[in-house]
Structure 1
Protein backbone atom coordinates (compact mmCIF):
# COMPACT_ATOMS: atom_id res chain seq x y z
CA UNK A 1 0.00 0.00 0.00
CA UNK A 2 1.12 3.53 -0.67
CA UNK A 3 1.44 6.10 2.14
CA UNK A 4 -1.66 7.85 0.77
CA UNK A 5 -3.70 4.64 1.08
CA UNK A 6 -2.54 4.20 4.67
CA UNK A 7 -3.28 7.82 5.53
CA UNK A 8 -6.79 7.51 4.13
CA UNK A 9 -7.74 5.13 6.96
CA UNK A 10 -5.45 6.50 9.63
CA UNK A 11 -8.26 7.90 11.79
CA UNK A 12 -9.16 4.34 12.77
CA UNK A 13 -5.85 3.94 14.58
CA UNK A 14 -6.92 6.47 17.16
CA UNK A 15 -9.95 4.42 18.19
CA UNK A 16 -9.31 0.74 17.38
CA UNK A 17 -8.41 -1.81 20.04
CA UNK A 18 -4.73 -2.53 20.53
CA UNK A 19 -3.31 -6.02 19.90
CA UNK A 20 -3.32 -8.34 22.91
CA UNK A 21 -0.61 -7.59 25.47
CA UNK A 22 0.29 -4.29 23.76
CA UNK A 23 -0.64 -0.71 24.47
CA UNK A 24 0.11 0.53 20.97
CA UNK A 25 -0.31 -0.20 17.29
CA UNK A 26 2.22 0.53 14.54
CA UNK A 27 1.40 1.34 10.92
CA UNK A 28 4.29 0.99 8.48
CA UNK A 29 3.50 3.72 5.96
CA UNK A 30 6.56 3.00 3.82
CA UNK A 31 9.64 0.77 3.95
CA UNK A 32 12.81 1.01 1.89
CA UNK A 33 14.14 -1.98 -0.02
CA UNK A 34 17.78 -2.96 -0.10
CA UNK A 35 19.43 0.01 1.58
CA UNK A 36 20.82 -1.91 4.56
CA UNK A 37 23.79 -3.43 2.75
CA UNK A 38 23.88 -0.93 -0.06
CA UNK A 39 25.84 2.16 -0.89
CA UNK A 40 25.88 4.68 2.02
CA UNK A 41 25.26 7.54 -0.42
CA UNK A 42 22.14 5.77 -1.67
CA UNK A 43 20.96 5.31 1.92
CA UNK A 44 21.31 9.06 2.50
CA UNK A 45 19.29 9.78 -0.63
CA UNK A 46 16.57 7.35 0.40
CA UNK A 47 16.52 8.76 3.94
CA UNK A 48 16.07 12.27 2.55
CA UNK A 49 13.11 11.08 0.47
CA UNK A 50 11.57 9.44 3.54
CA UNK A 51 12.00 12.65 5.53
CA UNK A 52 10.21 14.56 2.76
CA UNK A 53 7.40 11.97 2.91
CA UNK A 54 7.36 12.39 6.72
CA UNK A 55 6.79 16.14 6.35
CA UNK A 56 4.05 15.54 3.76
CA UNK A 57 2.32 12.97 5.98
CA UNK A 58 2.51 15.34 8.97
CA UNK A 59 0.81 18.09 6.95
CA UNK A 60 -1.99 15.71 5.98
CA UNK A 61 -2.47 14.45 9.53
CA UNK A 62 -2.43 18.01 10.87
CA UNK A 63 -5.56 18.71 8.83
CA UNK A 64 -7.49 16.27 11.02
CA UNK A 65 -5.54 16.26 14.27
CA UNK A 66 -4.20 19.82 14.47
CA UNK A 67 -0.60 20.93 14.53
CA UNK A 68 1.79 18.38 16.01
CA UNK A 69 4.55 18.91 18.52
CA UNK A 70 8.03 18.22 17.15
CA UNK A 71 9.89 16.08 19.69
CA UNK A 72 13.46 14.84 19.92
CA UNK A 73 13.86 11.24 21.06
CA UNK A 74 17.57 11.38 21.90
CA UNK A 75 17.05 12.09 25.61
CA UNK A 76 14.67 9.14 25.88
CA UNK A 77 17.32 7.00 24.15
CA UNK A 78 19.90 8.12 26.72
CA UNK A 79 17.49 7.41 29.57
CA UNK A 80 17.03 3.79 28.43
CA UNK A 81 20.51 3.08 29.84
CA UNK A 82 19.44 3.92 33.40
CA UNK A 83 15.63 3.83 33.44
CA UNK A 84 12.83 1.50 32.49
CA UNK A 85 11.23 3.33 29.57
CA UNK A 86 7.79 1.98 28.55
CA UNK A 87 7.05 0.72 25.06
CA UNK A 88 6.66 1.93 22.42
CA UNK A 89 8.83 4.85 23.56
CA UNK A 90 11.99 2.80 24.23
CA UNK A 91 11.86 1.19 20.78
CA UNK A 92 11.02 4.46 19.03
CA UNK A 93 13.94 6.22 20.70
CA UNK A 94 16.29 3.55 19.36
CA UNK A 95 15.02 3.84 15.79
CA UNK A 96 14.15 7.54 15.32
CA UNK A 97 16.00 10.75 16.01
CA UNK A 98 12.87 12.87 16.22
CA UNK A 99 9.16 12.64 15.53
CA UNK A 100 5.90 14.51 15.35
CA UNK A 101 3.53 13.97 18.26
CA UNK A 102 -0.21 14.52 18.50
CA UNK A 103 -2.27 14.08 21.65
CA UNK A 104 -5.57 12.52 20.62
CA UNK A 105 -7.37 13.75 23.72
CA UNK A 106 -10.82 12.45 22.72
CA UNK A 107 -9.45 8.90 22.92
CA UNK A 108 -6.74 9.26 25.56
CA UNK A 109 -4.00 8.38 23.07
CA UNK A 110 -0.92 9.79 21.42
CA UNK A 111 0.09 9.46 17.77
CA UNK A 112 3.76 9.50 16.82
CA UNK A 113 4.96 9.91 13.23
CA UNK A 114 8.61 9.48 12.38
CA UNK A 115 11.29 8.05 10.15
CA UNK A 116 13.09 5.02 11.56
CA UNK A 117 16.54 5.48 10.06
CA UNK A 118 18.96 5.43 12.99
CA UNK A 119 20.30 1.88 12.54
CA UNK A 120 22.14 1.43 9.21
CA UNK A 121 21.54 -2.33 9.47
CA UNK A 122 17.76 -1.82 9.25
CA UNK A 123 15.64 -0.72 6.33
CA UNK A 124 14.34 2.84 6.57
CA UNK A 125 10.68 3.09 7.54
CA UNK A 126 8.05 5.80 7.81
CA UNK A 127 6.07 4.78 10.90
CA UNK A 128 2.94 5.97 12.61
CA UNK A 129 2.48 4.64 16.15
CA UNK A 130 -0.66 5.17 18.24
CA UNK A 131 -0.37 4.46 21.95
CA UNK A 132 -2.20 5.06 25.19
CA UNK A 133 1.13 5.37 27.03
CA UNK A 134 2.09 8.99 27.58
CA UNK A 135 5.54 10.12 26.44
CA UNK A 136 8.05 9.66 29.26
Structure 2
Protein backbone atom coordinates (compact mmCIF):
# COMPACT_ATOMS: atom_id res chain seq x y z
CA UNK A 1 0.00 0.00 0.00
CA UNK A 2 1.41 3.37 -1.00
CA UNK A 3 0.27 5.28 2.08
CA UNK A 4 1.89 2.71 4.36
CA UNK A 5 5.17 3.14 2.43
CA UNK A 6 4.91 6.93 2.68
CA UNK A 7 4.33 6.75 6.45
CA UNK A 8 7.26 4.37 6.84
CA UNK A 9 9.49 6.70 4.81
CA UNK A 10 8.53 9.69 6.95
CA UNK A 11 9.09 7.70 10.14
CA UNK A 12 12.53 6.71 8.86
CA UNK A 13 13.41 10.31 8.02
CA UNK A 14 12.32 11.40 11.50
CA UNK A 15 14.31 8.62 13.21
CA UNK A 16 17.61 9.19 11.39
CA UNK A 17 20.20 11.59 12.70
CA UNK A 18 20.47 14.74 10.63
CA UNK A 19 23.52 15.26 8.46
CA UNK A 20 25.49 18.49 8.87
CA UNK A 21 22.94 20.34 6.71
CA UNK A 22 20.22 19.71 9.30
CA UNK A 23 17.54 18.10 7.16
CA UNK A 24 16.37 15.06 5.23
CA UNK A 25 14.66 15.66 1.89
CA UNK A 26 12.98 12.90 -0.13
CA UNK A 27 10.61 12.50 -3.02
CA UNK A 28 7.94 9.91 -2.24
CA UNK A 29 6.96 7.85 -5.26
CA UNK A 30 3.46 8.17 -6.70
CA UNK A 31 2.33 5.10 -8.64
CA UNK A 32 0.24 7.04 -11.16
CA UNK A 33 2.01 10.40 -11.25
CA UNK A 34 -0.85 12.50 -12.60
CA UNK A 35 -1.56 15.73 -10.77
CA UNK A 36 -4.88 14.35 -9.51
CA UNK A 37 -3.31 11.13 -8.17
CA UNK A 38 -0.41 12.94 -6.51
CA UNK A 39 -2.79 15.45 -4.92
CA UNK A 40 -5.04 12.63 -3.69
CA UNK A 41 -2.05 10.84 -2.14
CA UNK A 42 -0.83 14.04 -0.48
CA UNK A 43 -4.26 14.70 1.01
CA UNK A 44 -4.66 11.09 2.19
CA UNK A 45 -1.21 11.15 3.78
CA UNK A 46 -1.92 14.52 5.38
CA UNK A 47 -5.11 13.11 6.91
CA UNK A 48 -3.14 10.23 8.42
CA UNK A 49 -0.51 12.61 9.76
CA UNK A 50 -3.27 14.83 11.16
CA UNK A 51 -4.39 11.94 13.37
CA UNK A 52 -0.84 11.80 14.77
CA UNK A 53 0.07 15.48 15.05
CA UNK A 54 -3.06 17.54 14.51
CA UNK A 55 -3.95 19.68 11.51
CA UNK A 56 -1.09 21.00 9.38
CA UNK A 57 -0.35 24.62 8.69
CA UNK A 58 -1.06 25.32 5.03
CA UNK A 59 1.72 27.61 3.82
CA UNK A 60 2.11 29.33 0.46
CA UNK A 61 5.77 29.67 -0.48
CA UNK A 62 5.17 32.63 -2.78
CA UNK A 63 6.77 35.09 -0.37
CA UNK A 64 9.91 32.93 -0.06
CA UNK A 65 10.18 32.72 -3.85
CA UNK A 66 9.81 36.51 -4.06
CA UNK A 67 12.40 37.06 -1.32
CA UNK A 68 14.85 34.70 -3.04
CA UNK A 69 14.21 36.50 -6.34
CA UNK A 70 15.06 39.79 -4.65
CA UNK A 71 18.44 38.36 -3.65
CA UNK A 72 17.76 37.26 -0.08
CA UNK A 73 19.63 34.14 0.98
CA UNK A 74 17.00 31.56 1.98
CA UNK A 75 18.40 28.89 4.35
CA UNK A 76 18.27 25.26 3.30
CA UNK A 77 16.17 23.21 3.08
CA UNK A 78 13.68 26.05 2.64
CA UNK A 79 15.39 27.38 -0.50
CA UNK A 80 15.19 23.93 -2.09
CA UNK A 81 11.59 23.47 -0.99
CA UNK A 82 10.38 26.83 -2.33
CA UNK A 83 12.15 26.14 -5.63
CA UNK A 84 10.32 22.80 -5.90
CA UNK A 85 6.76 23.34 -4.69
CA UNK A 86 4.32 26.29 -4.56
CA UNK A 87 2.85 25.46 -1.15
CA UNK A 88 3.32 23.04 1.73
CA UNK A 89 1.57 21.33 4.56
CA UNK A 90 3.68 21.84 7.68
CA UNK A 91 3.70 20.22 11.11
CA UNK A 92 5.84 20.98 14.15
CA UNK A 93 6.66 17.61 15.74
CA UNK A 94 8.78 17.77 18.86
CA UNK A 95 11.90 19.71 17.81
CA UNK A 96 11.43 19.15 14.07
CA UNK A 97 9.41 20.39 11.15
CA UNK A 98 7.70 17.88 8.86
CA UNK A 99 6.90 19.19 5.37
CA UNK A 100 4.75 17.77 2.55
CA UNK A 101 4.54 19.35 -0.88
CA UNK A 102 3.40 18.46 -4.37
CA UNK A 103 6.17 18.55 -7.00
CA UNK A 104 6.01 18.78 -10.77
CA UNK A 105 8.52 16.53 -12.51
CA UNK A 106 8.01 17.74 -16.07
CA UNK A 107 6.89 15.01 -18.46
CA UNK A 108 7.21 12.45 -15.66
CA UNK A 109 4.18 13.85 -13.84
CA UNK A 110 3.95 14.80 -10.18
CA UNK A 111 5.34 13.53 -6.92
CA UNK A 112 5.32 14.15 -3.20
CA UNK A 113 8.15 16.05 -1.56
CA UNK A 114 8.81 15.19 2.07
CA UNK A 115 11.21 16.97 4.35
CA UNK A 116 12.10 16.62 8.00
CA UNK A 117 14.26 19.39 9.40
CA UNK A 118 15.38 21.08 12.55
CA UNK A 119 15.84 24.35 10.65
CA UNK A 120 13.03 26.81 11.39
CA UNK A 121 11.17 28.28 8.41
CA UNK A 122 12.41 31.76 7.48
State the TM-score, normalized to the length of structure 1: 0.77
Match in the other structure for 1:8: 8
Query: Mind listing any 5+ residue stretches in structure 2 that lack a counterpart?
Result: none
RMSD: 2.3
Gaps of 5+ in 1: 36-45
1:8-63 CA-to-partner distances (Å, cap 9, x unmatched) read: 353343342013x3211023221578x8xxxxxxxxxx112111111111001111
* 1:94-129 deviation digits (Å, cap 9, x = unpaired): 11011100011x2x1101001112x63675220210
Match of 1:69 in 2: 57
Structure 1 pair 122/9, CA: closer, same or farther in 2 (3 Å)? Answer: closer
Distance change in 2, residues 1:18/1:121 (3 Å)? farther
Structure with greater helix percent: 2
Query: Larger radius of gyration, structure 1 or 2?
Result: 1
Residue 18 of structure 2 corresponds to 18
The number of aligned residues is 121
Distance of aligned partners of 1:122 and 1:94 in 2 relative to their CA distance in 1, 3 Å threshold: farther
